């Protein structure tokens, strides 16, 4: 895989020289810190009654849940913030890096190196993934308060890391895909971010809208793609806490039960979600490879 | 301390040696056409380049040179026709073709955020060269293109000439059999132009098969063995240095090419000359004061022509028999 390694090294050499990277890095630290601070204020408020529970329409029913599960709520809240940051950062990093290759004409240079378009796309996705995860690592210290309260289980940490890695992989693949079919960096980044944010908020919004307005559950499968819900459906005390915090009418929507995919094998939502994002990322990589290869057999009939 | 570990991949060990059957061209372009929508950009273009030959493609801007070179480099697909590089079809065996060509586009394909050394290291790594071989290739190429003292400078501070030379070094990292250079002298003047021509000549002497596109025939004549003229997407002329020289000669053996430089009274002069039956191919240069024509009359008639022009109101700065240069003759084909 010489081209992939060379691409990853080259991307880092380019990114780490630009002032923009450090500006984005600083901005991200400030943004995540602010979000965590605000959520911390709500969750760690001395008078828990003053803090509205997540997803609750009343402030009185959830106070005990909130107080009893401060660590879980804080852990989940920081996790959600970082996933949100990933949905914003990863697609734009990947899309702009790829579209910039087009604008500079260096995509031709990469194509001429020989190993094929799939490796070019894969190299770009991996470089963007590593870079995005390094950027998102700035959120790690914000988990310290949650950890210090106790109650966060190792499997929840594993679930969060898996979700973050696979969802970021999917977001990077989205960015590279839009970068490969659009010529402008900004345009590609905005489209990729739009789709990523739709996966976070749009899927949930559509399902709730259909459920409330039409009374049917037809869009429920879309929720398996939602990283927020995958995290909240992590199982154990976290899931219980979040489910109890939500209004009763929405609990069935917000909780994605583990699925029995094979005898004796229960797959929780975060595993299913992670598999889905990885498969989608692979499909996007293949589609991008077709898009950038002028000699691909699929393009013969179009001309 | 030096390491004696063998390199990951020697420069040319994985690629089978070029074994062309006798007479087989290194580059074969067979009746290709390229359309963008309904607009034909290339029409029925055919030529072949034998191994070791430098082939120039000259034409005005928009004549289709860049599209032709992109087709040869497998960066675009012909609408009809076939291209083969060393016998490999450019569509079905694109990867094999890419392994054998070095392409430098109209605009050098470079990453501004890294240094020249890092750029060549990246290209070498992407090509799968081992660490030792890569370092040797990078050092050698930086010396060949005269950038060894600027290897740790960021590419963004390079001059246009240095950028072109670095891009050329990048195209040579894997020792390609065929070099495709799109307007390698574009934007260069003075010393940078001469330096670049020297580099191209050196590459040619080393035995590279080259296809070089350009807008100035005089540059291509400096480097190439044979030249084709592309006009409106069609090849209108193909020939060698001798053919270009013959093209510059008057078509009739008894005709003389005359150059008249007129400082004032151009219209009056053109009217006078236009009425004569003993001259042909009357034309004015782009400078608006140099008149060219073929004079078929005798010496006496030619001697009387200058006073006639002066009497007609022309201020003549030069009047004499001149040879047209082969480059100028080729350049005329761009528009005729």
Question: Is residue B211 predicted with pLDDT exceeding 50?
Answer: yes
Secondary structure (DSSP) of A141-180: GGGHHHHHH----HHHHHHHHHHHHHHHHHHHHHHHHHHH
Q: Report pLDDT digits (tens) over A17-48.
A: 556 666 766 777 777 777 777 776 766 655 54
Fold for B249-333, please state it: Alpha-Beta Plaits (3.30.70)
Residues of A at the B interface, defined by Cβ within 8 angstroms:
2-3, 5-7, 9-10, 13-14, 17-18, 104-106, 108-116, 294-295, 299, 303
Question: Is residue A51 predicted with pLDDT exceeding 60?
Answer: no
Q: What is the pLDDT of residue B303?
A: 86
Chain B residues with beta carbon closer than 8 angstroms to that of A296: none
SS3 assignment, position B193: helix
B294 to chain A, minimum CA–CA distance in Å? 47
Q: What is the mean predicted confidence (pLDDT) over A146-163?
A: 82
Q: What is the mean predicted confidence (pLDDT) over A276-295?
A: 93
Write the ipTM.
Answer: 0.71
DSSP bridge partners of B84: B28, B89
DSSP bridge partners of B258: B293, B321
* Domain span holding position A87: 2-299
DSSP bridge partners of B179: B102, B210
Asked if B94 reaches chain A (Cβ–Cβ under 8 Å), the answer is: yes
Q: What is the pLDDT of residue A192?
A: 92
Cα distances (angstroms) measured from residue B147 to each of A78, A106, B175, B180: 51, 21, 18, 21
Is there a contact between A294 and B79 if contact means CB atoms under 8 Å apart? no
Cα distances (angstroms) measured from residue B37 to each of A154, B41, B61, B76: 59, 10, 20, 14
Higher pLDDT: A10 or B115? It is: B115
Chain A residues with beta carbon closer than 8 angstroms to that of B105: 105, 108
Identify the weakest region by mean pLDDT among A68-77, A237-246, A286-295, B179-188.
Answer: A237-246
- A-B contacts (CB, under 8 Å): 79
Work out how many domains chain A is built from and give that number. 1
Is there a contact between B95 and A116 if contact means CB atoms under 8 Å apart? yes
Indicate the domain borders of chain B: 27-246, 249-333
- The span from the CA of B329 to the CA of B244, in Å, is 7
Name the residue facing A2 among B74, B77, B125 (closest C-beta): B125
Q: What is the pLDDT of residue B8?
A: 42
Q: What is the pLDDT of residue A252?
A: 65
pLDDT band for position B72 (cuts 50, 70, 90): very high
Among B144, B128, B143, smallest CA distance to B202 is for B144
Is there a contact between B123 and A295 if contact means CB atoms under 8 Å apart? no
Is there a contact between A113 and B123 if contact means CB atoms under 8 Å apart? yes
- Is pTM beyond 0.90? Reply is no
A267 to chain B, minimum CA–CA distance in Å? 40
Q: Which residue has the tokens 């499997």?
A: A155
Chain B residues with beta carbon closer than 8 angstroms to that of A19: none
Is there a contact between B109 and A13 if contact means CB atoms under 8 Å apart? no
pLDDT band for position B250 (cuts 50, 70, 90): low
| Residue pair A105/A51 in contact by the 8 Å Cβ criterion | no
Class of domain B27-246: alpha beta
pLDDT band for position B29 (cuts 50, 70, 90): very high
Chain A residues with beta carbon closer than 8 angstroms to that of B73: 108, 112
Identify the weakest region by mean pLDDT among A273-282, B137-146, B182-191.
Answer: B182-191
């Amino acid at each position: 895989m010489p081209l992939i390694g060379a691409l990853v090294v080259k991307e880092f050499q380019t990114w780490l020289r630009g002032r923009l990277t450090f500006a984005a890095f600083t901005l991200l630290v400030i943004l995540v810190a602010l979000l965590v601070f605000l959520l911390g204020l709500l969750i760690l408020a001395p008078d828990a009654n003053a803090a509205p529970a997540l997803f609750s329409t009343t402030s009185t029913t959830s106070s005990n849940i909130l107080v009893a599960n401060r660590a879980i709520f804080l852990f989940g809240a920081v996790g959600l913030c970082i996933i949100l940051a990933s949905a914003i950062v990863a697609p734009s990093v990947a899309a702009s890096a790829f579209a910039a290759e087009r604008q500079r004409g260096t995509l031709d240079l990469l194509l001429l190196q020989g190993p094929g378009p799939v490796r070019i796309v894969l190299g770009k996705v991996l470089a963007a993934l590593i870079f995005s995860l390094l950027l998102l690592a700035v959120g790690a210290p914000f988990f310290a308060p949650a950890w210090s309260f106790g109650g966060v289980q190792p499997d929840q940490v594993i679930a969060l890391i898996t979700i973050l890695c696979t969802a970021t992989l999917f977001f990077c693949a989205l960015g590279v895909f839009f970068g490969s079919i659009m010529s402008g960096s900004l345009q590609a980044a905005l489209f990729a971010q739009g789709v990523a944010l739709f996966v976070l908020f749009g899927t949930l919004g559509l399902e709730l809208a259909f459920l409330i307005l039409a009374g049917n559950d037809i869009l429920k499968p879309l929720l398996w793609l939602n990283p927020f819900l995958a995290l909240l459906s992590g199982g154990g005390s976290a899931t219980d806490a979040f489910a109890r915090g939500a209004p009763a009418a929405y609990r069935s929507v917000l909780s994605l039960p583990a699925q029995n995919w094979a005898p004796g094998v229960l797959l929780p939502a975060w595993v299913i979600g992670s598999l889905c994002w990885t498969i989608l990322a692979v499909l996007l990589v293949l589609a991008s490879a077709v898009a950038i290869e002028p000699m691909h057999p699929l393009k013969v009939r179009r001309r | 301390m030096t390491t004696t570990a063998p390199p990951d991949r020697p420069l040319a060990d994985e690629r089978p040696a070029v074994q062309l059957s006798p007479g087989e061209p290194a580059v074969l372009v067979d009746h290709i056409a390229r359309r963008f929508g309904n607009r034909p950009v290339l029409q029925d273009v055919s030529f072949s380049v034998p191994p070791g030959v430098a082939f120039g493609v000259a034409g005005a801007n928009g004549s289709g040179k860049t599209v032709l070179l992109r087709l040869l480099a497998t960066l675009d697909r012909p609408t009809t026709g076939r291209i083969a590089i060393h016998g490999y079809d450019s569509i079905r065996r694109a990867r094999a073709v890419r392994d054998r060509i070095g392409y430098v586009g109209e605009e050098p394909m470079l990453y501004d955020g890294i240094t020249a050394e890092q750029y060549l290291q990246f290209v070498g790594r992407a090509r799968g060269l081992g660490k030792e071989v890569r370092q040797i290739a990078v050092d050698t190429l930086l010396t060949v293109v005269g950038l060894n003292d600027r290897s740790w400078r960021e590419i963004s501070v390079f001059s246009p000439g240095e950028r072109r030379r670095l891009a050329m070094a990048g195209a040579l990292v894997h020792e390609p059999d065929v070099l495709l250079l799109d307007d390698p002298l574009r934007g260069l003047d003075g010393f940078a132009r001469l330096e670049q021509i020297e580099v191209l000549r050196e590459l040619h002497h080393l035995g590279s098969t080259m296809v070089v596109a350009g807008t100035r025939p005089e540059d291509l004549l400096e480097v190439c063995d044979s030249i084709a003229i592309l006009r409106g997407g069609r090849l209108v002329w193909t020939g060698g240095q001798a053919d270009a020289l013959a093209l510059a000669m008057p078509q009739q053996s008894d005709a003389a090419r005359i150059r008249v430089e007129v400082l004032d009274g151009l219209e009056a002069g053109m009217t006078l000359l236009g009425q004569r039956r003993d001259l042909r191919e009357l034309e004015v240069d782009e400078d608006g004061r140099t008149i060219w024509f073929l004079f078929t009359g005798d010496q006496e008639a030619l001697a009387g022509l200058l006073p006639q022009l002066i009497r007609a109101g022309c201020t003549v700065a030069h009047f004499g028999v001149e040879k047209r240069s082969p480059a100028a003759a080729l350049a005329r084909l761009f528009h005729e």
